[in-house]
Each structure stands twice: as structure tokens, then as C-alpha cells.
Amino acid sequence: MRRTGKIMTTLGAAGAALLLAAGPARAEVSGETAYILNTFSFLVHGFLVMWMAAGFAMLESGLVRTKNTATICLKNIALYSVAGLLFYLIGYNLMYTEVGAYIGSFTLFYGASEAELALLGAAEAGPELIAPVVDQGYAAMSDWFFQMVFVATAASIVSGTLAERIKVWPFLIFVVVLSGVIYPIQGAWIWGGGWLSELGFSDFAGSTVVHSVGGWAALTGAIILGARTGKYGVGGKVNVMPGANLPLATLGTFVLWFGWFGFNGGSQLALGSAADATAMAIVYVNTNLGAAAGVIAAMALSQVLYKKIDLTMALNGAIAGLVSITAGPDLQNHLFAILIGAVGGGLVVVCVPLLDRLRIDDVVGAIPAHLVAGIWGTLAVGIFGGGDLVAQLIGIAAVGAFASAASAALWLGLKVTLGIRVSAENEELGLDMAELGMEAYPEFGHGSRTI
């Protein structure tokens, strides 16, 4: 008997019997053990979220055309690097350190606490050195690591929408400001304990803080940058520019799904008690159910509407399901998670053509999957999760207004100074040859020069 047999051995001998014999006091987790488990949860879940950077890279590599593939690869590894450096140098402090209502403090160096340095520097770890560290709850840098990978996710969302026509360096300058300033400010309002947090706005793992913010930055960028040449013809005609490598896009989606267990599970922020472990398990399950429902809803709807099952809709359905459940993955009714994810997946199928009708050229479908589903998920916390619907609406609007305005100002500033769009010839030639001087697939077919 697999499920219960082994566990009973464990607890039968070491745990349950003692528990009964010695009373509830035996059930305790020591403070130092809790510190270790909290820290390790940040690290494990953090590396899962870091891996999502690879997921975005593969998703976007698969959905652009071959002539722009190497460039999107470069942008993805560069943006993850830039986001990490900037969130270290500036962002984290603005978001989390001594936050007033609107913003935190500014400092160039963030490191382990004095108590931690004292413990690490001592020849012997006496209780008087351990206790103040344990009192922190977790290692300071493990929290930094976990929070850092979230800002990288927000930046990743932008690169997909704007692919195939934006210049590399101006894009990276946008990422500098996004991850150093824009993201942390609204993050301070919510997760840093600022005014939206005080108001009761609730966003467990970032439907709004991460995904909507990335989505707003992408949307304003797409409008200011304009569509790819030839994407929209006369009379509302939309030219399909199919992605060059759908298995890579599929791989990228699986990576995101995998990494999302870190994104949502780690956002429990603690693993030092039975309550935390229990809640974390619920979060994992809802995350998976939401994504699965998003896939099936998107597939079914595209079958009904278009008589074909569109793979890219199914993939974006998974992502939209994940984004939707991200604001409230701690729901105890798992059927709600299925419902929330399914609505998210359905929204993708509806919104992708809608954006095309508005001539907003979103190369990978990130705006429906991250912005629209992010708004939906944040609302769903108010509807199904016991949150305050008014606070949710205020938070969505405030973050939307701030992120859009700040992004638009930045995109416009970049446009009139450095320029953000490659020349028409370079767009035709492809960014890989134009900006990098190389081809992504030099031996395959006609490569980047035919389409």
C-alpha cells in the first residue's frame, strides 16, 4: 500500500506515537528549523521562477520568424541579467525597505543583516548569535533572490509583444527603468505594505503586481512602436506571420507551467509550520488545475469558433490559466480554481482577434495571456476568494494607470531620443542580421531571408 504505508512507518515510529504520548508540545518546529525551511523555500521556489526566464525565451523564440530568432534569444538573456542587476542596485530597496505609503528607501548596496554577518563571522555558533538571526524568520538574501526573479518575469512579458521590430539597446534601457523603478514602486504599494496593501487589496503571487504590470508595459509599447510592417493590410485584413518553431513554443509553455509552482507556491513565503506547508500544497494544486482548465477551455473554444484546434491558443490558454489563478491560488474550493482558469483560457481565444481588430500587434499573445487574464484573476479574488471587490478594482485601476503612464512616458522618451524601431530595411532583413550580424538557423531551408 503505497500512499499510507510508508508514512505510517515514519510517523508510527518517530512521530505520531510520541505525539500522543508527550502531548501537543512535541509537535513544535524549532525556530531555527523554521528559519532554515523558510529560507530553503525561497531558494527552491526562486530557482523555479528563474527558470521561467528560459520559458519565455523558448516561447518567444518559437513564435517569432526565423530572421528575428537570435535577437529574441539575446533580449531574453539580457533582460534577465539587467533586471537582476537593477533590482539589486535599486529596485529591491524601493519596493521593500522602509516603505512609506508609496515608496521605499534608496541604497546601492543590499546584503545580509548585521546579525547574519555576525553569525557567519564567528568561529563558533553560540545561541546568542543564532537567536537574532532566527528571529528574522529567513535569510535576508533568500528573500532578495525570490523577489528578484519576479521582476524578471514582468520584464519578460514585454519582450514577446514587441518582438521583430524593436531595437535591442533601447529595449534594454526600458528594462532598466522597469525593473529599477516602475515595478518596485507599484510593488511597494502592494507587497511592500504601502497604500494599496492598507486598503485591503489582495494579490497573492502577482496577477496584478507582475503580470498586469508587464502587460501594461507591453501594451503601451505596442501602441507607441506600431505594428510590424505588413501585419495589417487594407480593409481590416490581418496577415498571419506564423511562428517558426512550435515545439520550442510548446517547450517554453511547459517551462512556464513548471516554474509557476515556484511562482505561486513560493509566494506562501514560509514553510516553517504545518499551516504553511498545508497552504502551500493547496496552492500547488490550484495552480495546476487552473492551468489545465485554461488549456482545455482554449482548445474547446477554438474548436467551436474556428473548427480547428489552434496549438498557440492552447499554449496561451495554459499561461492565461496560470496568470488567472495567481492572484488567489490559496482558494480552498478547487472547483473555483478550475473555473477561474477556464475563464482565463477562454479570454485568450476571444481577445487575440480583438487586439488584431484594434491593430495592436502583439507577436506572442502576451497581452491577452498576462494583462487580460491578470485583471480577471485579480477580480476573481474579490468574487470567489473572499477578497474586497472594491479594493481589487481600485488596485487594478491604480496600478494600470501608473504602469501605463510611466511606461508610455518612457517609451515616448526613448522614441524621440534614441529611437525604438529598427529601419524598414532592417525589419525586412530581420533583426538577426541587422543588429547581431548572425542567423539563428543558418542551414535550415532558406533561413531568414525568405519570409
288 is an interface residue for its own copies by CB under 8 A? yes
- Are the C-beta atoms of 322 and 255 separated by less than 8 Å? no
Residue 204, C-alpha cell as written in the block: 497573492
The count of residues in the chain is 451
393 is an interface residue for its own copies by CB under 8 A? no
Binding residue for its own copies (CB under 8 A) from 102, 141, 224, 429?
141
142 is an interface residue for its own copies by CB under 8 A? yes
Binding residue for its own copies (CB under 8 A) from 181, 199, 238, 282?
282
Residue 118, C-alpha cell as written in the block: 555576525
In angstroms, the Cα distances linking 395 to 15, 120, 204, 206, 421 are: 45, 41, 13, 12, 32
Binding residue for its own copies (CB under 8 A) from 98, 100, 101, 111?
111
Residues 58-87 that bind its own copies (CB under 8 A): 58, 61-62, 65-66, 69-71, 73-74, 76-78, 80-82, 84-85
- Strand partners for 238: 232
Beta carbon of residue 280, minimum distance to its own copies (angstroms, whole number)? 7
Residue 258, C-alpha cell as written in the block: 513548471
Residues 197-216 that bind its own copies (CB under 8 A): 197
Q: Return the amino acid letter for 103.
A: I
Beta carbon of residue 220, minimum distance to its own copies (angstroms, whole number)? 25
Could you tell me which of 207, 200, 159 has the C-alpha nearest to residue 179?
159
Beta carbon of residue 238, minimum distance to its own copies (angstroms, whole number)? 15
Q: How far apart are the C-alpha atoms of 166 and 172, rounded to whole Å? A: 10
21 is an interface residue for its own copies by CB under 8 A? no
Residues 297-336 that bind its own copies (CB under 8 A): 299, 303, 306, 308-312, 314-315, 318, 332-335
Beta carbon of residue 408, minimum distance to its own copies (angstroms, whole number)? 26
Q: Which residue has the cell 533572490?
A: 145
Binding residue for its own copies (CB under 8 A) from 68, 147, 159, 326?
147
Sign of CA dihedral 430, 434, 436, 438: positive
Q: DSSP 3-state assignment of 421?
A: strand
Q: Which is nearer to its own copies, 416 or 450 (CB)?
A: 450
Q: How far apart are the C-alpha atoms of 174 and 103, rounded to whole Å? A: 20
Binding residue for its own copies (CB under 8 A) from 102, 140, 224, 394?
140
Q: Which positions from 354 to 383 touch its own copies by CB under 8 A, shown as an x/- string? A: ------------------------------
Q: How far apart are the C-alpha atoms of 352 and 243, rounded to whole Å? A: 15
Among the residue ranges 53-61, 154-162, 360-368, 391-399, the one whose residues contact its own copies (CB under 8 A): 53-61
